[in-house]
């Protein structure tokens, strides 16, 4: 995949709540189809709660333009089990299902809860090894989001390097990612709200600063994914503002 900027919201967020306010051309279309007319990617968090049918993934892929990319969040029955006791067959099934995105494959997001700390490093490595074995050609840009600060250490970075996976840059106050240079050919950004509560709106100055970082990464040949998870706030507005700064560069 050539270096490109993919941006959108966490789940499908629209500037209007009711279908009667859609542009006329989209009133008989799906929410996803309308969304894809404005943004070129979406972070599908619904896969965190339930593994879709393969036919559902195919339908989604058919409903968006050719340059659209999907990010899928790994099922919580894998990532959020006590002691990280997951079933390898669940991982394999999940990967087989999302593979139906075909050429619309973007990123795979793996988020762990604060209860999973670095003392589970070996189990984490085992999970990532299974994911990589399901995607040996690295068709998915796989990114890992940690919600506990214990993970930010050299051994963890080396583990991610081994699997060619990225660490998500996010801004949750209790576990915000430290400022480090990206170690992969892609960058994954998640914006959870100015105070980390999925609410509120980012200032233009803040978004402009991130636009400068993104420009630099793109110039280095890196693909960049950016998703706004402040969906109880101004996620749609913030994506549009960030996109406008990059478009005007």
| Residue that is written with structure tokens 């970075």 in the block | 157
* 3-class SS string, the chain: CCCCEEEEEECCCCCCCCHHHCCHHHCCCCHHHHHCCCCCEEEECHHHHCCCCHHHHHHHHHCCCCCCEEEEECCHHHHCCHHHCCCHHHHHHHHHHHHHHHHHEEEEEEECCCCCCHHHHHHHHHHHHHHHHHCCCCCCEEEEECCCHHHCCHHHHHHHHHHCCEECEECCCCCCCCCCCCCCCEEEEEECCCCCCCCCCCCHHHHHHHHHHHHHHHHCCCEEEEEECCCCCCHHHHHHHHHHHHHCC
Question: How confident is the prediction along the chain (249 residues), in pLDDT tens digits per residue?
Answer: 456 999 999 999 999 988 888 999 999 999 999 999 999 999 999 999 999 999 999 999 999 999 999 999 999 999 999 999 999 999 999 999 999 999 999 999 999 999 999 999 999 999 999 999 999 999 999 999 999 999 999 999 999 999 999 999 999 999 999 989 999 999 999 999 999 999 999 999 999 999 999 999 999 999 999 999 999 999 999 999 999 999 986
Q: Give the pLDDT confidence score for residue 19 in this predicted structure.
A: 87
Q: Give the pLDDT confidence score for residue 249 in this predicted structure.
A: 66
Pick the CATH number of 5-248 from 3.60.15.10, 3.30.70.141, 1.10.3730.10, 3.20.20.410: 3.20.20.410
Domain regions of the chain by residue span = 5-248
Please tell me the pTM assigned to this model.
0.96
Q: Give the pLDDT confidence score for residue 1 in this predicted structure.
A: 45
- The answer to whether 142 and 165 have CB atoms below 8 angstroms apart is yes
- The answer to whether 86 and 94 have CB atoms below 8 angstroms apart is no
Strand-pair category, 141-145 with 166-167: parallel
């Amino acid at each position: 995949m050539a270096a490109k900027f993919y941006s959108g919201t966490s789940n499908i967020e629209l500037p209007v709540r009711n279908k009667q306010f859609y542009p006329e051309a989209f009133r008989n279309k799906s929410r996803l189809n309308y969304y894809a007319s404005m943004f070129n990617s979406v972070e599908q968090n619904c896969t965190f709660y339930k593994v879709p049918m393969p036919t559902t993934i195919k339908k989604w892929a058919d409903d968006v333009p050719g340059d659209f990319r999907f990010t899928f969040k790994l099922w919580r029955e894998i990532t959020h089990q006590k002691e990280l006791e997951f079933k390898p067959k669940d991982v394999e099934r999940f990967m087989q299902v999302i593979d139906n995105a075909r050429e619309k494959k973007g990123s795979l997001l793996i988020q762990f809860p604060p209860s999973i700390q670095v003392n589970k490093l070996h189990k984490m490595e085992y999970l990532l090894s299974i994911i990589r074995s399901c995607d040996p050609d690295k068709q998915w840009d796989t990114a890992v989001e940690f919600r506990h600060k214990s993970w930010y250490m050299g051994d963890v970075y080396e583990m991610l390097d081994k699997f060619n996976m990225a660490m998500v840059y996010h801004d949750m106050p209790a576990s915000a990612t430290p400022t480090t240079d990206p170690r992969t050919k892609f960058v994954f950004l998640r914006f959870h709200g100015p105070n980390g509560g999925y609410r509120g709106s980012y200032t233009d100055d803040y978004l402009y600063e991130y636009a400068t970082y993104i420009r630099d990464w793109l110039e280095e040949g890196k693909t960049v994914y950016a998703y706004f998870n402040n969906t109880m706030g101004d996620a749609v507005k913030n994506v549009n503002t960030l996109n406008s700064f990059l478009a005007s560069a």
